[in-house]
Copies of this chain bind each other. A is one copy, B any other.
Amino acid sequence: MTLILALDFGGTKLAASTVEADGKEWLKHESELSPDPGDALTDLEIMRWLIEKVLDDKKPDAIGVSFGGPVDATTGLVRLSHHVPGWENVPLKQILEENYYAPVSIDNDANVAAIGEYRFGAGRGYDTFLYITISTGVGGGWIINGKPWRGALGLAGEIGHTVVDPRGPICLCGKRGCVERFASGPYMAQNARELLEKEPRNSGNKVRGDILKYLVNNDLNLITGKIVSDAAGYGDELAQQVLYQGAWALGVGIGNAANLMNPQRFVLGGGVTKAGDNFWAIVRKVARETALPEVNFEVVRALLGDDAPLWGAVALGLDVLR
């Protein structure tokens, strides 16, 4: 039996799984929230403990790792984590190889999720697609000719920071009108809050934003992307406007990427994509209108959900054995 160990250093969550080389289900699976505030050493210690539990005294034949931050996939050196301090220049591949006597392959979470969808999910049978995750941020990973395309510096896939409205609101990155500025969960919540603060007071009739305010008991700080999406589903027009803007931005970003790269598919995952059929319809319509008429593509749901990085890590582990 060939045993693959798959690890996910997710920023907020750590997870470890084992699977047989041709397995479709985990043999063992363990996960733990990352402590907050935490650091690289604590993460490594927790992961060591999770690994011990899933390995159960067995030796892995290969290890695949998804890391939530920029990684040099060739050397297996972590550059940094955007969430957890202390990860600067940690030789994670080397540490794991020395501890578990097995070959290790590492990549960042967006690329690994793309690889997971390619081998086990919505990318099966398609050798050219962009995986996009829309949740706390908007990130992406390319599969081109059946292989991850990481870019010259390992930074490709940043569809979240392509500009779709140069007169739009300012994004964390400093620019105006990035896809992420409209479509990420936290920014949708912020956009809803700002609109609510500008909205005229309720004068007896039902007004835009009422359902949204009801859902958070009038405490606007409690609004999340998920709640905006729920309120939109219940018919709140202000929430629908915010969700529409997010879907529109994502659609323009996808259409632009289609014109530029002409992939077969766009595979969309992450919490925001649970927003319902209307969200998907707008994304698809705007993407279609933005791409040239002859540039055909599909926009489909990711199939692996939160497990995409772990399944991608399995694929990395399998590849290292070849």
Name A's B-contacting residues (CB within 8 A): 128, 140, 142, 144, 149-159, 161-167, 173, 175, 252, 255-257, 259-264, 289-290, 292, 294-297
Given A144-B149, A252-B163, A252-B166, CB of A156 within 8 Å of CB of B260: yes
| Interface contact A153-B295, CB-CB below 8 Å | yes
Inside 8 A of A164's CB, which chain B residues have their CB? 163, 166
| Cβ-neighbour of A153 out of B150, B155, B252, B262 (below 8 A) | B262
State whether B173 touches A292 (Cβ < 8 A): yes
Residue of B nearest to A292 (CB): B161
Q: When chains A and B are docked, how far (Å) is the Cα of A256 from the Cα of B166?
A: 12
- A292 CB to nearest B CB, Å: 5
Set B149, B162, B294, B296: member contacting A256, Cβ < 8 A: B162
Nearest neighbor of A154 in chain B, beta-carbon distance: B262
**If the complex has contacts A153-B296, A295-B155, are A260 and B261 also in contact, measured as CB distance less than 8 A?**
yes
Complex formed: what's the CA distance from A175 to B164 in Å? 13
A259 touches B162 (CB 8 A): yes
Known: A128-B152, A159-B260, A257-B260. 15 other contacts (CB 8 A): A152-B262, A155-B294, A155-B295, A156-B260, A156-B261, A157-B262, A158-B292, A162-B256, A163-B290, A164-B166, A165-B165, A166-B252, A175-B289, A260-B261, A261-B261
25 A-B pairs, CB-CB below 8 angstroms? A140-B260, A144-B144, A144-B149, A149-B261, A150-B262, A152-B262, A152-B264, A152-B297, A153-B262, A153-B294, A154-B262, A156-B262, A157-B260, A158-B295, A159-B259, A161-B259, A161-B292, A163-B164, A163-B256, A165-B166, A165-B167, A167-B167, A175-B290, A256-B256, A261-B261
Q: How close is A124's CB to chain B, nearest CB, in angstroms?
A: 16
Q: Return chain B residues, CB-CB under 8 Å to A175.
A: 289-290
Number of copies: 2
Name A255's closest neighbour in chain B (CB-CB): B163
The binding surface of chain A is classed by DSSP as loop
Q: Compute how far the CA of A296 lies from the CA of B158 in the bound complex, rounded to whole angstroms.
A: 13
Contacts of A297 in B (CB 8 A): 152
User: What is the CA–CA distance of A287 and B144 in the complex, to the nearest angstrom?
Assistant: 24
Q: Contacts of A295 on B, CB cut-off 8 Å?
A: 153, 155, 158
In the bound assembly, the distance between CA atoms of A263 and B260 in angstroms comes to 13
Q: Which residues of B contact A264 (CB under 8 A)?
A: 152
User: Are B260 and A260 in contact, CB atoms less than 8 angstroms apart?
Assistant: yes
Q: How far is the CB of A278 from chain B (nearest CB, A)?
A: 20
A255 and B159 CA atoms in complex are apart in Å by 11
Instruction: Flag if B259 contacts A158 (CB, 8 Å).
Output: yes
CB distance from A163 to the nearest CB of B (A): 6
Tell me the nearest residue of chain B to A265, going by C-beta. B152
| Listed residue (A159, A166, A260, A294) with the most chain B CB atoms within 10 angstroms of its CB | A260
Q: Whole-angstrom distance between the alpha carbons of A156 and B128 in the complex?
A: 12
In the complex, the chain B residue whose C-beta lies closest to that of A256 is B162
What residue of chain B has the Cβ atom nearest to residue A252's Cβ?
Answer: B163
